C-alpha cells in the first residue's frame, strides 16, 4: 500500500475492496478542488481506477455576468430549482465547464503527478440525452411552461471512452454537456451524469462531494447530518434545494453501486471520509444488492 508523501497513514481506499470497480467522484463547481485532487491523484498513482466528474455552476454564474448573459432560474413545483438554459446560457455553461473548470482540474492532477484526460458527455457519445420539451416553473405564484430550455434527460451512457482512459492508467475528468442523437448539445445535471456513469462502469463506489458534510436536516446546523438516507427522506421538505437532485441521483445509483455517499469536499481525504461515515450514506432499500 502506497505511503502518503505527506507522512499520513496509507489510504484505506487503495486496495481492500471486495469489488474492484472504479471509484466515481463528483465535485461541485463551487467547492475547493484541492483536497479532492490530492486524494484522486493519490488513488490514481497507487493504481486505483478513479473517475472525476465535475460541475461548474459557480464558474458559469461568474462567466455569465462577465459576458452579460442574464442568469435565470427555473423553480419546479416540487421546490427544486435549476438554471434556465436557453441557447446563450448553454454557450456560457459549455465555455465555463470545458474552458475554465476542466483545465484547472487537469492541471492540478498533473501537478500532483497524475495524468488525466478531459471528456465531455458529448465526446464519443458518452452521454446521450433527449431534450426536455417543456419545463414547469413557478413564477410570481403561477406555474408557467418554459419551452426554450436546452437541458436534457440522460437516456443512454456509453462508458467506452472512459474505460479507454482508465485502461491507460489515467484519470478521466468528465463533465456536461451531453448531446442528443443528432449531435445537438444539451445541458444535463452533473450529479445525474456521475450516478449514471457509476452504474454503467459497475463502479465500486460513487461519492458526491459538495460544500456541506452530507444531507442535513437543518441546513444551518452540521450536527443534524443524516447518516443514512433513503427514499423516505425525499418526502416533505427534509431534503431541500439542490440537495434533492443529489439524493435522487445517488439513490438510483445505489441500486447497483455498492457504496454511495454525499460528503464535504474540503476535508482531508474527502472521498475516504465520506465513505467511512463522515458523510451521508445513500441506500435505496430493497433495490440494492447486499454488501459483499
- State the CB neighbour count (10 A cutoff) for residue 202: 14
| Cβ atoms of 162 and 51 closer than 8 Å | yes
Taking each helix axis from N to C end, the angle separating 34-45 and 102-111, rounded to the nearest 10 degrees, works out to: 50
Residue 151 burial by CB count (10 A; 0-12/13-18/19+): exposed, middle or buried? Answer: buried
For the stretch 65-120, pLDDT in tens is: 999 998 877 666 666 667 778 899 999 999 999 999 999 999 999 999 999 999 99
Residue-averaged pLDDT of the chain: 88
| Cβ atoms of 188 and 151 closer than 8 Å | yes
C-alpha cell recorded at residue 5: 508523501
Cα dihedral 85, 88, 89, 90, rounded to 10, equals 70
Report the pLDDT averaged over residues 19-39: 91
Strand 81-83 relative to strand 73-75: parallel, antiparallel, unpaired? antiparallel
Report the pLDDT averaged over residues 255-278: 95
Report the pLDDT averaged over residues 236-248: 85
Q: What share of the chain is helix, strand, coil (3-state, %, to 5)?
A: 35, 25, 40
Checking if the pLDDT of 35 tops 60, the result is yes
The structure's pTM equals 0.89
| Cβ atoms of 23 and 13 closer than 8 Å | yes
CATH number of 23-282: 3.40.1160.10
Calculate what percentage of the chain has a pLDDT beyond 90.
66
Checking if the pLDDT of 289 tops 60, the result is no
Cell numbers 441506500: residue:
283
The torsion region of residue 88 among left (phi > 0), alpha (psi -120 to 50) and beta comes to: alpha
Domain ranges for the chain, please list them. 23-282
Amino acid at each position: 500500500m502506497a505511503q502518503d508523501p505527506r507522512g499520513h497513514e496509507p489510504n484505506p481506499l487503495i486496495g481492500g475492496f471486495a469489488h474492484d470497480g472504479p471509484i466515481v467522484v463528483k465535485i461541485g463547481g463551487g467547492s475547493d478542488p484541492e483536497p479532492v485532487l490530492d486524494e484522486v491523484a493519490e488513488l490514481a498513482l497507487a493504481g486505483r481506477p478513479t473517475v472525476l466528474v465535475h460541475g461548474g455552476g459557480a464558474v458559469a454564474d461568474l462567466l455569465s455576468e462577465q459576458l452579460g448573459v442574464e442568469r435565470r432560474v427555473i423553480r419546479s413545483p416540487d421546490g427544486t430549482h435549476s438554471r434556465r438554459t436557453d441557447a446563450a446560457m448553454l454557450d456560457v455553461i459549455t465555455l465555463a465547464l470545458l474552458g475554465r473548470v476542466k483545465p484547472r482540474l487537469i492541471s492540478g492532477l498533473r501537478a500532483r503527478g497524475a495524468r488525466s484526460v478531459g471528456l465531455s458527455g458529448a465526446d464519443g457519445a458518452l452521454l446521450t440525452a433527449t431534450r426536455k420539451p417543456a419545463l414547469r416553473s413557478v413564477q410570481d405564484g403561477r406555474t408557467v411552461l418554459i419551452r426554450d430550455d436546452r437541458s436534457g434527460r440522460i437516456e443512454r451512457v456509453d462508458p467506452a471512452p472512459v474505460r479507454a482512459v482508465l485502461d491507460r492508467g489515467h484519470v478521466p475528468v468528465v463533465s456536461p454537456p451531453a448531446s442528443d442523437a443528432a449531435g445537438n448539445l444539451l445541458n444535463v445535471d452533473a450529479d445525474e451524469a456521475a450516478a449514471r456513469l457509476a452504474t454503467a462502469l459497475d463502479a465500486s463506489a460513487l461519492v458526491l462531494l459538495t460544500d456541506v458534510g452530507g444531507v442535513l436536516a437543518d441546513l444551518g446546523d452540521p450536527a443534524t447530518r443524516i447518516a443514512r438516507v433513503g427514499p423516505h427522506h425525499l418526502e416533505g421538505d427534509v431534503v431541500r434545494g439542490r440537495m434533492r437532485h443529489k439524493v435522487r441521483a445517488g439513490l438510483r445509483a445505489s441500486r447497483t453501486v455498492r457504496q454511495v455517499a454525499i460528503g464535504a469536499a474540503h476535508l482531508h481525504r474527502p472521498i475516504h471520509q465520506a465513505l467511512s461515515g463522515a458523510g451521508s450514506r445513500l441506500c435505496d432499500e430493497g433495490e440494492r444488492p447486499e454488501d459483499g
